[in-house]
Structure 1
Amino acid sequence: MTPAAAAVRSGSEADCDEAQLMVRVQERRRLAGTLYAEELRDLALLWTVDDDHPGEADELAVNCLIAAAGLRSKVGRAEGKLRDAVQATRDLPLCLDLVAGGVLPVEWFEWLIRSTRRLEPEQRRQVDDVVAEWDLAGIDVNRFYRELRILIAWFGAGLQQEHPTQQRNVEVFTSPDMDGTACLQVTGPVPEITALGHRLDAAARAVQMAQRQALAAARGERTGCGDGTAGSIDLSTLPFDLGPLAGDSTAQADHDDARSFADAAHSLDPAAVPFDVFGTVAETGRPMSLAALRYAILTRTAFGTEGIEVPESGFRINVTVPVMTLLGQSDAPGEVDGAHPIPPAMARDLVVNAPVFHRVLTDPVDGSFLPRAAKTYQVSRSMQELLRQIDPICAVPG
């Protein structure tokens, strides 16, 4: 790109500093495109499997390890990079040449690879022929993406994307923010997922109404849930009382009368309330929010399997908590299964509710486990109280 062309695109003078800067950026991106194309051509040589002559699985596994070491990435990501490299060199050679020449940006080409993954090899080659004829130096990124989507649709939407009924799936993803949360993603046809959302919302609203009626009866108001005597309500009528799982948006009237009810309910055992993990509905006198109830119903309701007996799950989660964090002398994060960081307060909270925990010795430098027998402890009441004092806003009752 010349300074004049850069000035036209940036709306500035050809000899201004901004135009010259843009030229330097373009030159570096052109060089990056050349190196990117060379890297893909090298990585493609490590792919030992093709559609007609499948290679040895062991050889491919070794090559993936080699690629992971060179790319300094995880093995799964390296394998995906090898697959993309083969697709680029075999089915998109014309566009890859344009990347090497600095005409087609790397980001655009990677989008082209992702967009054509579901196409047949012959279809990808046809897409390559068409895209290579575009005025890639003159169109903007939005038009490129729009035209590419239209082109992919012309090459058979049925082949490049599965039918919605074939995409039914449930996956779990941990938060990229490493804040101790995870996401359950349910994928399926729009009508089915929409109906599920409506059923879940209706159930949450019904449970919230039952909680409001139970709290009103406990405060002595005349409702159909009790005899109107303050404090005589059976806490088992507070359904799905899971505690502070989300923000609350209940009416101001609930908040005004909450203190008197909380004083009466504070000494009661939260275990007497079904689903009352933390006992905050009984303590605060306020029903759970709809968001918290949707979560509670989804995670606590038994699954119907039409008479098929489901064996008890043997699933176990290992939580590692640094000893100084456990003592409240450090805020180093804990880990779930040695891979997912969790906030220190959550780690201490999990120890409070754990039936036992194990003390293991680790190397103070690299953190590796030392060959010493682990010592098992039961969580005593004094230990629980210590952890609760460390985090005064802890959601555990007491």
Structure 2
Amino acid sequence: MDSRAWSAESREALEAVAASAAAFVACPGAGVACPGAGAESADLRADSLPDADPLRTLADDCLDGLADVARLEARTAALKARLTADYGQATRSLVTPAASPQERTAQEMSMVAEVACVLTVSERTAGALLSESLALTTALPLTLTALQAGTISWQHARIIVDETAGLDPAGAAALEAHFLDPDAPNPARGCQAGDLVPSRFRAKARAWRERHHPVSIEKRHTKSTEDRRVDYVPDRDGMAWLSAYLPADTAAGIWERTTAAARALQGPAEARTLAQLRADITATWLLTSHTTGTGAPGGSAGAGAGTTGGIAGAGTGMVGGVAGGVPSPRAQVLITVPVLSLLGATDEPATLDGYGPIPPSMARRLITDGADSFYRVLTDPRDGAPLEIGRTSYRVTKAQRQWLRLRDGRCPFPGCSNHSLDNEADHLLAWADGGTTGITNLGQPCPRHHRLKHSTAWKPTGASKDHPPGWTSPSSRHYPSEHQDWEPPEWPHDILTKDTLPDHGLPADPGHQADPAPTGHAGQEPGQEPGR
């Protein structure tokens, strides 16, 4: 890559990284002194302990190497920040001045999307990198210098960016000088910023910011309450995280109330831990308006001793296959279930739209308890192809929308995790330009990326009945979309013979490849079960 077109600052950062990397690569191997600070300490050890234990020497050299790697990572982060800032400046210079706020927003979305795709990160991460890089290169010179010198890490630099957000230039300069300039009027005492773990450094930086912020905390709190929200993050093993950003007193009150309710249920007959009880109480309160559900089948709120807020003092952590007896939620989502797993013949996981694999017991429970709001998608036991979408939806337009949800799983833009339920079907080639209303010419971008398509030079590429569309950026780079990772289902050993297959009502030819397209629905009568 030709660096002559880079800014002088970016070239300087590149040279610093190259020098650090060259010094590190020049190290012959573990146990031998390397250039840099680690080499000095190794030489001192060698002079003072000529007969030192070779294993001790190896361990010390490894620690020195880790310190060198940390400095190299910091310098690389400084280079990354400069390149990102240079890209942002160059891109803004390339486009014509925005004629409206909407056009300016579209230009920023396009720039963020390009960075996200080239780095293979989410757009939220790319947007944060662009704004952090801009702050470091324009408003926080001491922070960027320390990062390039390797005396602070990228995490420390991000903390300074976060804590100076909302401060005027004088306040931001005062905060970074307090922690990074030993000649400041009132420098930080004790450990240097880079010697503190990021969490402790954030606590100190936030405390200083709160004491010296020019705007009262009362006014800032009133403004921050507008950003309150709830976040949902899928996790492994059929679990997920649900977190809420709330005013401190509200969050503390919720925590204290759930803790008190959980402690009230503890006793010799209660096997659940305090953490499990908190989770069960919170989930039941949110799903039942605080009053229904006891954590035991057939119970009622407040029935019997040992109930608090609708959670029974059950002696086990699982009631009827449900953790803590929490009632089933009701929401408009797709559940893709292998036929044999639904019948209980295998333990193959099902798929919950917007989440991923879930235990078959959870899928069976959701279909049974939430049949009025969950769309069941059965898959062929021979090749994993969908057999049925829903039970009563046969109109082509609705079936196509559900097929798109099944095909894509989420917004097809690279890195976007917006759930398919929030997206709308959209023609890849516009109807006015001759596009057809078929699966191969349909996508389901989220509202954000739908706007990106119509307001910038980002364009979706072709799709198929099995593959969602990719995207081409304004720089003519192509970024593929994520595909659903379908696999052939597992067959239980006791029904693999042709003699037993008919007993389960399944096809007798496991090797036959069925057409996965949702054809044949148009000829069925409403209320008729597909395949019956």
| TM-score (normalised: structure 2) | 0.44
Structure 1 stretches lacking a partner, 5+ long: 206-245, 253-272, 301-313, 381-398
* Correspondent of 2:311 among 293, 301, 306: 293
Matches within 5 A, 1:238-249: 249=266
Corresponding residue for residue 341 of structure 2: 325
For residues 325 and 122 of structure 1, do their structure 2 counterparts lie closer, same or farther at Cα, with a shift above 3 Å needed?
A: farther
For residues 322 and 110 of structure 1, do their structure 2 counterparts lie closer, same or farther at Cα, with a shift above 3 Å needed?
A: farther
Matched, 1:77 2:125: yes
Corresponding residue for residue 367 of structure 1: 486
Matched, 1:156 2:213: yes
| Contact 1:37–1:96, Cα closer than 8 Å, also in 2 | yes
Q: Aligned partner of 1:167: which letter?
A: T
Q: SS at the partner of 1:293?
A: coil
Corresponding residue for residue 214 of structure 1: none
Question: Could you tell me how far 1:88 is from its partner in structure 2?
Answer: 1.7
| Contact 1:172–1:185, Cα closer than 8 Å, also in 2 | yes
Q: SS at the partner of 1:290?
A: coil
* Correspondent of 1:338 among 354, 369, 394: 354
Q: Give the whole-Å Cα distance in 1 for the aligned partners of 2:248 and 2:74.
A: 39
Question: Could you tell me how far 1:38 is from its partner in structure 2?
Answer: 0.9
For residues 333 and 112 of structure 1, do their structure 2 counterparts lie closer, same or farther at Cα, with a shift above 3 Å needed?
A: farther
For residues 152 and 20 of structure 1, do their structure 2 counterparts lie closer, same or farther at Cα, with a shift above 3 Å needed?
A: same
- Measured against aligned partners, the alpha-carbon deviations of 1:153-191 in whole angstroms (never above 9, x if no partner) come to 34307468831685263414245345344536362251x
- Measured against aligned partners, the alpha-carbon deviations of 1:319-341 in whole angstroms (never above 9, x if no partner) come to 23333432334444333333344
* Correspondent of 1:281 among 299, 304, 322: 299
Q: Which moved more, 1:41-50 or 1:338-347?
A: 41-50
For residues 23 and 249 of structure 1, do their structure 2 counterparts lie closer, same or farther at Cα, with a shift above 3 Å needed?
A: closer
| Contact 2:264–2:308, Cα closer than 8 Å, also in 1 | no
Q: SS at the partner of 1:318?
A: strand
| Contact 2:82–2:137, Cα closer than 8 Å, also in 1 | yes
For residues 323 and 84 of structure 1, do their structure 2 counterparts lie closer, same or farther at Cα, with a shift above 3 Å needed?
A: farther
Question: Could you tell me how far 1:344 is from its partner in structure 2?
Answer: 2.7
| Contact 2:294–2:307, Cα closer than 8 Å, also in 1 | no
Q: Aligned partner of 1:151: which letter?
A: W
Question: Could you tell me how far 1:85 is from its partner in structure 2?
Answer: 1.5
Matches within 5 A, 1:163-174: 163=221, 166-167=224-225, 169-174=228-233
Matched, 1:176 2:235: yes
Q: Give the whole-Å Cα distance in 2 for the aligned partners of 1:291 and 1:181.
A: 23
Q: SS at the partner of 2:242?
A: strand
Matched, 1:185 2:201: no
Q: Give the whole-Å Cα distance in 1 for the aligned partners of 2:146 and 2:204.
A: 18
Q: Give the whole-Å Cα distance in 2 for the aligned partners of 1:140 and 1:201.
A: 32
Q: Give the whole-Å Cα distance in 2 for the aligned partners of 1:345 and 1:76.
A: 35
For residues 170 and 334 of structure 1, do their structure 2 counterparts lie closer, same or farther at Cα, with a shift above 3 Å needed?
A: same
* Correspondent of 2:138 among 90, 104, 113: 90
| Contact 1:44–1:86, Cα closer than 8 Å, also in 2 | yes
Q: Give the whole-Å Cα distance in 1 for the aligned partners of 2:258 and 2:174.
A: 46
Matched, 1:19 2:60: yes
Q: Give the whole-Å Cα distance in 1 for the aligned partners of 2:251 and 2:204.
A: 30
Corresponding residue for residue 31 of structure 1: 72
| Contact 1:46–1:60, Cα closer than 8 Å, also in 2 | no
| Contact 2:336–2:376, Cα closer than 8 Å, also in 1 | no
- Measured against aligned partners, the alpha-carbon deviations of 1:216-239 in whole angstroms (never above 9, x if no partner) come to xxxxxxxxxxxxxxxxxxxxxxxx
Question: Could you tell me how far 1:140 is from its partner in structure 2?
Answer: 4.1
Question: Could you tell me how far 1:110 is from its partner in structure 2?
Answer: 2.4
Q: Aligned partner of 1:334: which letter?
A: A
For residues 124 and 333 of structure 1, do their structure 2 counterparts lie closer, same or farther at Cα, with a shift above 3 Å needed?
A: farther
Corresponding residue for residue 113 of structure 2: 65
- Measured against aligned partners, the alpha-carbon deviations of 1:132-166 in whole angstroms (never above 9, x if no partner) come to 31484885448755543343234307468831685
For residues 175 and 65 of structure 1, do their structure 2 counterparts lie closer, same or farther at Cα, with a shift above 3 Å needed?
A: closer
For residues 195 and 34 of structure 1, do their structure 2 counterparts lie closer, same or farther at Cα, with a shift above 3 Å needed?
A: closer
Corresponding residue for residue 149 of structure 2: 101
Q: SS at the partner of 1:76?
A: helix
Q: Aligned partner of 1:24: which letter?
A: G
| Contact 2:152–2:194, Cα closer than 8 Å, also in 1 | no
| Contact 2:77–2:154, Cα closer than 8 Å, also in 1 | yes
Q: Which moved more, 1:55-64 or 1:169-178?
A: 169-178
Question: Could you tell me how far 1:99 is from its partner in structure 2?
Answer: 1.1
Q: Give the whole-Å Cα distance in 1 for the aligned partners of 2:79 and 2:345.
A: 51
For residues 188 and 131 of structure 1, do their structure 2 counterparts lie closer, same or farther at Cα, with a shift above 3 Å needed?
A: closer
* Correspondent of 1:112 among 156, 160, 163: 160
Matches within 5 A, 1:123-162: 123-134=171-182, 136=192, 139-141=195-197, 144-145=201-202, 147-156=204-213, 158=215, 162=220
Q: Give the whole-Å Cα distance in 1 for the aligned partners of 2:268 and 2:203.
A: 47
User: RMSD over aligned Cα, in angstroms?
Assistant: 5.0
Q: Give the whole-Å Cα distance in 1 for the aligned partners of 2:355 and 2:194.
A: 46
| Count of aligned pairs | 297
Question: Could you tell me how far 1:56 is from its partner in structure 2?
Answer: 2.4
* Correspondent of 2:85 among 8, 30, 44: 44
| Contact 1:319–1:338, Cα closer than 8 Å, also in 2 | no
Identity of aligned residues (%): 18
- Measured against aligned partners, the alpha-carbon deviations of 1:23-55 in whole angstroms (never above 9, x if no partner) come to 2112222221121111111112344689xx978
User: Which has the larger share of helix?
Assistant: 1
- Measured against aligned partners, the alpha-carbon deviations of 1:188-223 in whole angstroms (never above 9, x if no partner) come to 251x55666788899x79xxxxxxxxxxxxxxxxxx
Q: Aligned partner of 1:92: which letter?
A: L
For residues 176 and 167 of structure 1, do their structure 2 counterparts lie closer, same or farther at Cα, with a shift above 3 Å needed?
A: farther
Q: SS at the partner of 1:173?
A: strand
Q: SS at the partner of 1:163?
A: helix
Q: SS at the partner of 1:320?
A: strand
Q: Give the whole-Å Cα distance in 2 for the aligned partners of 1:32 and 1:201.
A: 42
Question: Could you tell me how far 1:346 is from its partner in structure 2?
Answer: 0.8
Q: SS at the partner of 2:220?
A: coil
Corresponding residue for residue 440 of structure 2: none
Q: Aligned partner of 1:20: which letter?
A: D
Q: SS at the partner of 2:333?
A: coil
